[in-house]
A and B are shown apart, each in its own frame.
Chain A
C-alpha cells in the first residue's frame, strides 16, 4: 500500500465525478481511535498529482475535510419516539426495530412494499451491496437511486446507440489535443473546475463551443476568440443539435466513409434533420441561423475527415434533464457520428458524469432495471450469472422496478411501497416537485435514512442510522472517464458510526437472508468483480490489491476482464470503440429523434422560463457543503439570476427579493442581476432545502425512455417581493404527519 500515514493517505475528493486526487494527512493515524471529542479528527487536505486534476483542487475539495468534523455529525442511531422526536437509540434497538417493521410489512403486503433509494455518491462496493441487499435480502423490485436524476438520459442514449455507457469513453486528457470541444449543458468551470485545464487546447485554437442559456463561467471561457457561445431558449437544445446536423448533411460536410463503415440508421436521421433548416431552428431555439451554421462548420473543420486535429461532443445535465433528454443525447451522438468522431483517437462523444461515483454507481445494480456489470435484469443469462454469484436461484430475483420519480410518486399510495430505505441521497432536496416528495414520504409507514449528517430527508425519517463517510472508509469509485479509483481511509470514524456494509449485513442476518454479507470492502469488491465479469462494465480483472500497486497504471479503465490462466492481466481499456461498437451489428446505431418541447411551457400567468443548476461552492443537495464554513459563507443562499431588463420590469435591483412561482410551488430569493442570462429566463441553483429549495418548483414530468425528470425547464411567474405559497407545508407539520403515519 503506497499510502502510509507518514506521507499521508492517497485518495480522491469526496465530491464530483472528476474525483480529484488528494493527499490527506491526519494527526491521528487510522487504526487508533481518536477519543478527543467531536472536534476531532484533524485532517489536512492537499492536491495530489493525477492526470485529471494535475494536482489542482477547487474550493470544495480544499475544504472537504471540514465535513468530517461537522458539529451536527450523526454519531448515534436515532428513532422517532412517541412524542415524534428523533431520540438516540442503540444500534441493536434501531436495527431490531427496522428489521421487525420490514418483516411485518413484507408479510402483509409482499416484498415490493419495501423500497430502496440509493445514491451516486456511494462507493462501488456499497452501490453493489445495496442492489444485492434489495434483491436478495428484501426481494424487492423497487430499488432505484438519485443517478436517475443525473445520468439516466445519457446512459439510455449511449446504450442504445453505442452499445455501452461509459461517460467518457476516452481519457479526459485526450481533450487537450482537439481543435474543437462542443459542450452542451455542462458548466464544468463551476462543477469541476480543475477539468477546465483540458479545454485549453481547443480554446487556444478558437474551438470551444458552449451551448447554455446562460453565459455561465464555462461559456465565458469561449469568449475573446476562444470559441462560441450559443445561448438557446431553455428546453430547445435538441433543436440546436438538429440544426447542426442539418447543416452538416445539407452542406456535404459529413464523414461519409465513416458513416458507411461504422454506423447504421443514417437515412432516417437525415430525413428528420431535413425538417430543421437553421432559419426554422432559429425561430424555435432563438440561436441565430448564421451562428448555427458557423458552429457546424467549425466542428466540421476540426474533424479528422476535414484534416482537423479532432473534435469532441460532450453533454451534461443541462441538456439531459429534460423529458426529451434521451432524444437530445441521441442527437448529440448522431452529431458526433456524422462528424466521424467516436472510436477515433483524439475525437469522440462523451457525457460528463456529475456525482462522485455517478459512473460506478450506475453499473452495479442500484438501478431499477439493472444487475451488476451493467447487466439488464430482464436478461435470463444475466440473472443466472448474478444469481450464481449470490448463491440464490435466478427465479428468486425480482424483475424490473419503478424508476425514481415513479417510485417516489408511488410511496404510501394504494399498492405502493410502505417503507423506504434511503442511502447516500437527500432526495427531499434533490428530487423534483419537492412538496409532492414530502407528501409521499409522510405517507410511509417507515422511512429509514442512512447518512452522516442530519440532512433534510434524514430529519423526516422514523429511523436515522449514522454511517461512515469518505475518509473514514475504504472503497473504490469510478470516475467520469470510467477509471476505477481507490478511496482510502485516513481517519477512524467517530465512535458509534458504522459502515453501510455493516448495516446491511446486520439487517440481512435479522431478515434471515440467504447469501454472504461481507463487511470488508475489499471482499465486497472481489464479489462485485465476479458478478460484473462478462458484463458490459467488466471489473473482473480488478481488485483492491491491484489498484493499490504503486504505479500510474494501477487505476484501470473498465472494461477489465479477468486474465485467462497463464495470460498476463488485462491492462484495462482507456479508449472504447477503436475497433467496433459493442452493438449487435458492431456498428453505432443512429436513432432519429425530433423536438417535442417542455412539458410545462410558457403560459400567460407564467411567461418566463426557470432553469436550475449549480454553483462552484456547493455540491448536490448541499448537505455536505452547507456545513463547510467558507463555502456556506461564500454562497449562503440561492440567488435568482435574471437579466437587467427583466429586473427593471419587475422593479427590483440586485439583492432585492424576487418571488418565483410555478404550478408546484414558490420560492423567494435575492435577485442577482446579470447581463449573461437570457431576458426570458431565471436561473436558481438547487443546493438548498426547505423554503430555499428550488426543487419545490421544478417539474416531475419524465423522459419516456430514461425516466429522467425535467428539472431544467419549466414555466415560472416572477414578481418583486415576498411570496404567498399556498402549497407550502411547514416542516413541523411534515414531521407530525410522518410520525402519525408511522405510529
Chain B
C-alpha cells in the first residue's frame, strides 16, 4: 500500500481523490484527506449565485467518494509538515505518515492593507470576503439590513457579487482601481460596454479609483474613502480583491514557494518529488489561472500520473483551454478566453477582429492566429460566445474569413416562410412521401379537387399529415386559376404559367405514374 495524504478537501482536493480512486485500478493507494472546513466539499464557484438568490444552498454539495481505502478528516487543520519523516501533523496532535503528499490547500481571500478593514484578528463588522459557504451565508444575512453596499474589486467574483447584491435590491457601488473592469479579461473598450450594462442594472461604479481607508463608527463599517477623497457611505463591504494561495504548510517545510507552491509541469515539487501541489495553491510553469477548470485538469493529470507506470517528468500536454472565463451574473453576459484583457503581448501573427456595437451593449472581439482562434472577448454576444468557446477549446479551424466568427453561425431560419404557391416546382411539400409542389399542382390540374383526391393520387398528406394545410392552400390557389377549366392546355401557353410550369406537369405525371406502379 502506498500511503497518500491529501491536504485540502475543496473543489480540487475532493475531485483529485475521486479521480485517484477511479484511476487506481491496482488499488495501491491508501488515502487520507485533511480538510479544514467542517462541512462536506461544496461548489465554491456557485457562492455568488447564492448571494444572488439564484441557487439553493443545499444544492452546492459535491460528490464525496467512498472507499474502504479512504479516510476523510473534516474540520481538521494540517499544522506541520515534516518532509524528512514524511509526516503531516494535524491539529489534534496526530501524525499522518505519507509516501505521497498532495497539497490542495487552495487560497484565501486577499484582504488589502487598508486602515479600518480589520479589528483584531478578524474583519471589521460589515466587511466580508466571499470565499466560503459561511461568508456567503453572512453576506446574505447582511443584505437584509444593508442600505449601501460597496464591492471592492471588479474581477469576476466582484462583478458577480455586485450583480447578486443588486438583484437582492441592495444599492451597490463597485470600486475598482484598474482602468478596466475585469482588466485581466477586458480591455478598456470592452469594459466601457460592460460598465454601461451595469449602470443599467442600477450598479454604480468607480473604475480607476482605489480605496484608501475604511471608515468605522462604533466598531461597525460606515464608509469607504477613495483615493480621490470621495467618501462612499457603506454598511456592507464585500472584498473581492483577489486571493492569496495558501502556502504556509509548504513554506514552513522548506519547499519552494513563490506566489504559490512552485511545481513542475508534472505538478511535483522539484525539491521533493513525493510532494505535489494542485489547484489554487500551486504555481505551475505556465502560471495559475485561479479557475477551477485548471485545478480539475491538474487533478486528472496527477491522478493518472500517480497510478500509471509512466515515469515522472513526462507530463501530458497541459490543456490549452482551461482559461475560459464566463461571468455568472444576472443581466451581464461576459465571456472571455485566451488572448484578451488590457495587457496582452503584441503578436504580429495574430489578427484581431472586432464588432463594436455599444449602443445595444454588444462588443465581440476575436483573435486569430493562422486558422485557429486564440482569444475572444464577448460582451452581450449571446450564443456567439458559446460557439466561440467551442471553437477555441476544441481548436476547430476558423472560417476562411474569420469575420464570420463575430456573428452566430447557427441563426435560426427566417420565420416568414413562403406560401406553398410561391414555392418552386421541385420544392417538397409532403416530406413523408417526397411529393413536390409540382406533383401536387399537376394532379390538381388533372382534376383533383380535394385533399383526399390529392392524397389518393400523390400520397401527399398521408404520412404525418403536417402538410394538409399547404395542400389546401395549393387547392385554393390552383383551383381558382383558369387552367383548370381547360385541362390539357399546354401550361406554357397558360396565363398562369408562373404557377404551373412545364416541369410541374412532367414531374407530376411521373409521380402519379410511380404511385400507381408502386401500389399495384
Contacts and interface: CB of A to CB of B under 8 A. Distances in A.
Interface of A: 42, 44-47, 54-59, 62-63, 65-66, 189, 193-197, 215, 217, 220-221, 223-224, 229, 231, 233, 246, 249-252, 268, 270-275, 277, 279-280, 282-283, 286-291, 592, 602, 604, 607-608, 616-617, 628-630, 634, 643, 645-646, 648-649, 675-676, 678-680
B465 interface: yes
Contacts of A675: 409-411, 413
A274 B389 contact: no
Given A44-B519, A271-B62, A630-B514, A62 B459 contact: yes
A62 B434 CA distance: 11
Contacts of A57: 432, 459, 462-463
Interface centre among B60, B413, B434 (most CB of A within 10 A): B434
Contacts of B412: 223, 229
Contacts of B519: 44-46, 62, 65
A617 B464 contact: no
Interface stretch (B42-50, B164-172, B180-188, B235-243): B42-50
B61 interface: yes
B465 to A, nearest CB: 6
A344 B295 CA distance: 43
A252 B45 contact: no
A63 B518 contact: yes
B394 A277 contact: no
Contacts of A643: 409
Contact of A223 (B413, B463, B520): B413
Contact of B433 (A62, A217, A648): A62
A646 B409 CA distance: 10
Q: Which 10 A-B pairs have the closest CB atoms?
A: A196-B464, A193-B432, A193-B463, A645-B399, A286-B390, A271-B63, A58-B432, A279-B326, A59-B433, A58-B463
Contacts of A617: 434
A679 B409 contact: yes
Given A197-B464, A286-B386, A602-B394, A274 B60 contact: yes
Nearest to A61: B463
A14 to B, nearest CB: 14
A65 B518 contact: yes
A42 B519 CA distance: 9
A277 B434 contact: no
B324 A283 contact: yes
A592 B327 CA distance: 28
Given A249-B59, A629-B514, A679 B399 contact: yes
A224 to B, nearest CB: 5
Contact of B462 (A56, A196, A273): A56
Contacts of B462: 47, 55-57, 62
B383 interface: yes
B326 A283 contact: yes
Interface centre among A194, A279, A602 (most CB of B within 10 A): A279
A270 B404 contact: no
Interface centre among B63, B413, B415, B463 (most CB of A within 10 A): B463
B409 to A, nearest CB: 5
A629 B514 CA distance: 9
Nearest to A646: B399
B396 interface: yes
A193 B432 CA distance: 6
Given A45-B519, A291-B383, A59 B54 contact: no
16 contacts: A47-B462, A55-B462, A62-B515, A62-B518, A193-B432, A194-B464, A197-B465, A224-B415, A277-B46, A602-B394, A602-B395, A607-B397, A617-B434, A645-B399, A649-B399, A678-B409
Interface in B1-48: 42-43, 45-46
A251 B466 CA distance: 37
Nearest to B519: A44
A194 B432 CA distance: 8
A384 to B, nearest CB: 36
A182 B399 CA distance: 32
Contacts of B132: none
B108 interface: no
B64 interface: yes
Nearest to B60: A274
B330 to A, nearest CB: 11
Given A271-B63, A275-B43, A634 B415 contact: no
Task: Give the secondary structure class of A's interface.
Answer: mixed
Given A54-B465, A193-B431, A630-B434, 18 more contacts: A57-B432, A59-B432, A62-B459, A62-B462, A215-B413, A220-B413, A223-B412, A223-B415, A224-B417, A233-B394, A250-B49, A250-B56, A251-B56, A271-B62, A287-B386, A288-B383, A616-B434, A648-B400
A266 B515 CA distance: 55
Nearest to A42: B520
Contacts of B463: 56-59, 193-194, 196
B437 interface: no
A672 B45 CA distance: 43
A376 B128 CA distance: 59
Given A196-B466, A272-B63, A275-B62, A645 B386 contact: no
B501 interface: no
Interface in B217-250: none
Contacts of A55: 462
B334 to A, nearest CB: 11
Contacts of B56: 249-252
Contacts of A628: 518
B465 A250 contact: no
Given A56-B432, A189-B431, A288-B382, A275 B466 contact: no
A274 B43 contact: yes
Contacts of B431: 189, 193, 217, 616
Contacts of A280: 45, 326
Interface centre among A62, A196, A678 (most CB of B within 10 A): A62
B363 interface: no
B257 to A, nearest CB: 30
Contacts of B328: 277, 279
A634 B434 contact: yes
A340 B172 CA distance: 40
Nearest to B57: A250
A270 B59 contact: yes
B13 to A, nearest CB: 14
A250 B326 CA distance: 19
A65 B516 CA distance: 12
A602 B396 contact: yes
A193 B464 contact: yes
Interface string B409-434: 11111010100000000000001111
A527 B435 CA distance: 45
Given A279-B326, A630-B434, A648-B400, A59 B395 contact: no
Contacts of B45: 277, 280
Contacts of A215: 413
Contacts of A66: 518
Contacts of A616: 431-432, 434
A286 B389 contact: yes
Interface string B475-495: 000000000000000000000
B344 interface: no
Interface string B427-470: 00001111000000000000000000000000100111110000
Contacts of A290: 382
B393 interface: yes
B494 to A, nearest CB: 29
B55 interface: yes
A646 to B, nearest CB: 8
Contact of A275 (B63, B390, B391, B520): B63
B385 interface: yes
Contacts of A229: 412
Nearest to A192: B464
Contacts of A607: 394-397
B16 to A, nearest CB: 14
B467 to A, nearest CB: 11
